Amino acid sequence: MKFGILVNEGPFNHQASDSAYQFTWAALQKGHEIVRVFFYHDGVNNASNLSEPQSDDRNLVKLWSELGQEFDVELMVCVSAGLRRGLTEENLAPGFELSGLGQLIGAGIDSDRLIVFGD
């Protein structure tokens, strides 16, 4: 099955990002295709290389980045939502890319299911 993933919450203030990561990883392990992961609203904070979580906390930015690179999954960040939160090309973590809402629409069209995590 082909999945599109939409993440609307940041990595440190809500469970949604962690749940999205766990779902995406499990789907890939089971042989499903991830068309694209799109980060929107506060979810764009998952792409910031400026975050420094505590050593005993999960580093979701790093985990997303590694997942994208290991499985060749597109990690798209809404440019408008990112710029409103100070996220630019210079402070994107590896593997993330700024893009427009057309990429979200494309994920919905190209996938069998678009799974939304967060409000």
Question: Which residues have a catalytic role annotated?
Answer: 78
Closest CA to 10 of 94, 99, 86, 107: 86
> If DSSP codes are grouped into helix, strand and coil, which group holds residue 57?
coil
- Give which of 112, 53, 49 is closest to 75, Cα–Cα: 49
Cα separation of 96 and 99, whole Å? 10
